[in-house]
Amino acid sequence: HIFMALALYLNDKNDVAHVSVADVLEQGAQFDKANEEYAKILKDSPVYFMAQLKTVSNEMAQDHYAAARKKIETLIKEYPDNEQLMFNMGEVLRMSGDHKDAIKYYNKALDLTAEKDVDAWTVYYALGISYERNNEWEKAETAFKKALTSSNGHPYVLNYLGTLLEI
């Protein structure tokens, strides 16, 4: 931590040092202070987008879903075709209990990942959870089966699918 502080003293625009300090603060569950470090990173920085995603994660870690949602909404305006943002918005909505809207964002993420041929088992998994919580059993089962196939039988998927089929 001393070396990062020294690096910032010598150059307070050193974004890598800000990220490093924020990482240390996150490890100590000092999420607000970590977000203060991320806020010092300007939009023209190569690490800006990552810093914004970390800010959202820190808000979610503190159950500050409204703040996380507001941040993601702003980012979606800047990056409307970013599947990670769509997934993250789905996560914020799901974790705050809004499964109906979470489903919309997970589906947007899937549409965007299909264009990029990206492995999307985690999106299918989260989508399945939201469908299940929204009492859409058949859609939940379909999503979990897709997650199971693309994850090569990940234990989380197997467990949730097993629980769903027992209901």
Identity at 74, one-letter amino acid code:
T
Per-residue pLDDT for 67 more than 80? yes
Confidence of residue 6 (pLDDT cuts 50, 70, 90): low
Closest to 76 in 3D by CA, of 67, 65, 87, 66: 87
The H or E element spanning position 82 is none
DSSP state string for 43-71: TTSTTHHHHHHHHHHHHHHTT-HHHHHHH
Q: Please check the confidence at residue 116 and state whether its pLDDT lies above 80.
A: no
Q: Where are the alpha helices (DSSP H) in the chain?
A: 2-10, 15-27, 31-39, 48-61, 65-78, 83-95, 99-116, 121-133, 137-150, 155-166
20 vs 129: CA distance, rounded Å? 34
Q: Taking 80 as the threshold, does the pLDDT of residue 165 lie above it?
A: no
pLDDT at 71 over 80: yes
Say whether pTM exceeds 0.95.
no
Instruction: Evaluate if residue 152 carries a pLDDT over 90.
Output: no
Tokens of residue 37, six digits? 């470090």
Q: How confident is the model at residue 156 (pLDDT cuts 50, 70, 90)?
A: confident
Instruction: Let me know how long the chain is.
Output: 167
Q: SS3 for 28?
A: coil
pLDDT digits (tens, 9 = 90+) for 8-27: 656 677 788 888 889 999 99
